[in-house]
Amino acid sequence: DAEITQSPRHKITETGRQVTLACHQTWNHNNMFWYRQDLGHGLRLIHYSYGVQDTNKGEVSDGYSVSRSNTEDLPLTLESAASSQTSVYFCASSEAGTDTQYFGPGTRLTVL
């Protein structure tokens, strides 16, 4: 069955380290999205991509970057992790021409 996966599911890192969170989908969806979810803020969009080599900034993109070298993957990189980036991160994908986004299981990141 087609699916969307994220790894790792849990990570603890230190302030200042570079961290990469992986997102992989097998639906062949063109659209992929990264969100963070924090109490009181709901889901906030970090970066998104509408296809290979396309990346765009969301509302909370500072300190994060993404790259899209193939259809299946959209890794999220924290260039220099900060305690304010402690959060649960969700990846999602949707088919071009539709808007229903399907979410991965999430990654819980703790920055100490």
x/- string (CB under 8 A) for another protein, residues 17-46? Answer: --------------x-x-x----xxxxxx-
x/- string (CB under 8 A) for another protein, residues 53-92? Answer: ---x-x-------------------------------x--
What does the alpha-carbon distance between residue 13 and residue 19 come to, in Å, rounded to a whole number? 8
Closest approach, Cβ 103 to another protein, in A, equals 4
Inter-residue contact 17 to 81 (CB < 8 Å): yes
Inter-residue contact 56 to 48 (CB < 8 Å): yes
Among 23, 36, 94, 111, the residue binding another protein under the rule CB under 8 A is 94
What does the alpha-carbon distance between residue 28 and residue 32 come to, in Å, rounded to a whole number? 10
Which C-beta is closer to another protein: that of 13 or that of 88? Answer: 88
Residue 90, both tokens:
């969700």
Pairing type for strands 10-13 and 107-111 reads: parallel
Q: How many residues bind another protein (CB under 8 A)?
A: 24
Closest approach, Cβ 70 to another protein, in A, equals 20
Coil, strand, or helix at residue 73?
strand
Which C-beta is closer to another protein: that of 1 or that of 99? Answer: 99
